[in-house]
Amino acid sequence: MESHVFEAVNLVQSGCPSFFKFIAANETGDTGGHQCGFYIPREFAEMALGEPCIKGANKDVRAKIAWNDDKVTESRFVYYGVGTRNESRITQFGRGFEYLRSEYTGALVVFARTAVDSYRAFVFNSEEEIDEFLGALGLGPADANKLIRLDGKSPESQEEQAFVQFIQSLNVDFPSSDIMSAAARKIEDAIYDHEEYIRTQPDVKLISWSEIEYRLFRAIENDRYGKFIANGFSSVDDFIEKANAVLNRRKSRAGKSLEHHLGAIFAGNGIEFEGQVVTEGNKKPDFIFPSSSAYHNMSFPIEKLVFLAAKTTCKDRWRQILNEADRFRDQTKYLCTLQQGMTVKQMNEMAAEKVVLVVPQPYVKSYPKNTGMQIVTLSRFINFVKGVQA
């Protein structure tokens, strides 16, 4: 694990109040404007300010932030509550601050509070670093912009009860990823009573399911491994073996979760599709619409076929999808992601390869505007496929 990633993970696990976010296009100026500094969640702002953020007044406090490269900024935590504004930001990093440049759009930044007026910040701009950080903590992109909680607890008592019931029903150490995802969907539908969102607000549903699954996964981890942590380990090898098992399971779950939830949404919308279709050379795109047989039937018109890949993050690995299905080599390829933001350069490269991003509607605003890249919401993609299959 890279040293900065290890340090960030260690601070979070040691109990430092922390949150992460993806650097948005409006923060780097890629939308044409340039908002002041980094947006931060209200809970984190209230902790920094030492008082509630209440509409009608602006509040601020100064603090030191130490960054990746050991640069220290004398920055300002500020809550804007006057007029129509109701948001919190970290501002004042000095002229020409590196991490607010265009090439950092879509990078992941972690803030951890190490003392009353001191913070540590880490910026990860490669997919490997992002995956290492998220995987080590069992987090996903849907967990951005909120305080990181590692105790597996939810403020919703109904959720906690449902988690306990599910854990008690298990007859295995850990359920498979498809069972875990299905349980998260069932719990979310039962507690929040918005099952119709699968058709009316699929973008919201996808994010909500992802968040619930993360909390359920952490609850199972705490139940399964809590006793080992409390009792200690018999040897260093025993510790490493357990730690590697946890990390590998976290990464595996994150990679499959998005695919499982998308499949449930497509099925709930009456769309014909098939997952993990074997194409040429044993390659397996995540989704082919309507089916494997249609894809392999060369008389089936290409304009009636739709290709969709699913990648939780895709800053670097989006190129992997380009050769997953030969019939789409010169055709439009759709890629669904929970990534929040990318650089203009990356988006233009994707556009040149005829890749269209499918992004949950709340995340669209984090991407640069006026690029050659087309972005569609999940709802719009579903309507598009329905039209193709009509």
Position 14 scores a pLDDT of: 87
Residue 297 lies in a domain: yes
Domain's final residue, options 257, 291, 307: 257
Position 154 scores a pLDDT of: 47
Residue 146 lies in a domain: no
Query: 131 with 14, same domain?
Result: yes
Q: Sheet holding 355-359: strands in order across?
A: 274-275, 287-289, 306-311, 333-337, 355-359, 375-377
Which residue range forms the structural domain that includes residue 244? 157-257
Q: Is 295 a catalytic residue?
A: yes
Position 120 scores a pLDDT of: 95
**Rounded Cα distance, 322 and 181, in Å:** 27
Looking at 80, 295, 334, 367, which residue is catalytic?
Answer: 295
CA 381 to chain centre: 19
Helix (H, G, I), strand (E, B) or coil at 75: strand
Length of the chain: 390
In the chain, the number of structural domains is: 3
Residue 269 lies in a domain: no
Q: Residue 39 maps to which CATH number?
A: 2.40.330.10
Helix (H, G, I), strand (E, B) or coil at 50: coil
Residue 201 lies in a domain: yes
Domain's final residue, options 198, 231, 257: 257
Query: 279 with 310, same domain?
Result: yes
Q: Which amino acid is at 97?
A: F
Query: 238 with 352, same domain?
Result: no
Residue 283 lies in a domain: yes
Q: Residue 329 maps to which CATH number?
A: 3.40.91.80
Position 256 scores a pLDDT of: 86
Query: 209 with 305, same domain?
Result: no
Q: Within 13 Å and on the Cβ side, how many CA atoms surround 153?
A: 3
Query: 250 with 318, same domain?
Result: no
Query: 59 with 87, same domain?
Result: yes
Query: 240 with 322, same domain?
Result: no
Quick check: bond before 52 cis, omega within 30?
no
Domain's final residue, options 90, 107, 137: 137
Residue 268 lies in a domain: no
H-assigned helices in 193-272: 197-200, 202-231, 236-268
Q: Within 13 Å and on the Cβ side, how many CA atoms surround 290?
A: 15
- Contact present, 91 and 75 (Cβ < 8 Å): yes
H-assigned helices in the chain: 3-13, 25-28, 42-49, 127-137, 157-169, 177-192, 197-200, 202-231, 236-268, 292-296, 344-352, 378-389
Query: 282 with 384, same domain?
Result: yes
- Identify the H or E element spanning 306: strand 306-311
From first to last of its 390 residues, the chain has per-residue pLDDT tens of 568 899 999 999 888 899 999 998 888 877 665 567 899 999 999 989 888 888 888 999 999 999 987 899 999 999 998 888 888 999 999 888 899 888 999 999 999 999 988 999 999 999 889 988 988 887 888 888 988 877 655 445 678 888 889 999 988 888 888 999 999 999 998 888 778 889 999 999 999 999 899 889 888 888 877 766 666 666 777 777 777 777 777 777 776 889 999 999 999 999 999 999 999 988 999 999 999 999 999 999 999 999 999 998 888 789 999 999 999 999 999 999 998 988 888 999 999 999 999 999 999 988 888 777 889 999 999 999 999 998
- Contact present, 335 and 314 (Cβ < 8 Å): yes
Query: 239 with 184, same domain?
Result: yes
